[in-house]
Structure 1
Amino acid sequence: MSKSLNIPWILAIGWMATIFYLSHQPGEESGELSSIVAAVFSVIPLPEDQLHYLVRKGAHVFAYFLLAILFYSASRKWYVALVISVIYAMSDEFHQKFIPGRSGQISDVGIDSLGVILGVFTFAVFYRKKQSASSE
Structure 2
Amino acid sequence: MLWAAVIFFMSAHAGSDFDGTGPLAAIKRWLVGLVAPVFGPETDIVNVAAHFTEYLVFGVLLFLAAHQTWPNAKTVQLALIAIALASLYAVTDEFHQSFVPGRLCDSADWLTDTLGAALGASAAATLSSASFSSHLRVFRDC
Q: Structure 2 length as normaliser, TM-score?
A: 0.73
* Structure 1 CA distance for aligned equivalents of residues 101 and 83 of structure 2: 29
Q: Is the 8 A contact 1:69 1:123 kept in 2?
A: yes
Q: Deviations over 1:26-69 (max 9, x none)?
A: 4531566475234432672432112xx11210111111011010
Distance in 2 separating the partners of 1:104 and 1:55:
17
> Counterpart of 1:25?
13
Correspondences of 1:1-136 after superposition (within 5 Å)? 13-30=1-18, 33=25, 35-41=28-34, 44-50=37-43, 53-76=44-67, 77-128=78-129, 129-130=132-133
Q: SS of 1:44's equivalent?
A: helix
Structure 1 Cα separation of the partners of residues 35 and 104 of structure 2 = 26
1:9 corresponding residue in structure 2: none
Distance in 2 between the 1:78 and 1:42 partners? Answer: 30
- In structure 1, runs of 5+ residues without a counterpart are 1-12
Q: Is the 1:22–1:30 Cα contact (8 Å) retained in structure 2?
A: no
Runs of 5+ unmatched residues, structure 2 = 68-77, 138-142
Q: Which structure has the greater CA radius of gyration?
A: 2
- Whether the 8 Å CA contact 1:27–1:99 is kept in 2: the answer is no
Percentage of pairs with the same residue: 26
How large is the RMSD of aligned CA atoms in angstroms?
A: 2.3
AA of the residue aligned to 1:22: M
State whether residues 79 and 121 of structure 2, in contact with CA within 8 Å, keep that contact through their aligned partners in structure 1: yes
| Structure 1 residues 100-122: Cα deviation after superposition (integer angstroms, max 9, x where no partner) | 11101011000111101111211
Compared with structure 1, are the counterparts of its residues 65 and 131 closer, same or farther at alpha carbon in structure 2 (3 Å cutoff)?
farther
Confirm or deny: 8 A CA contact 1:89 1:112 kept in the other structure: yes
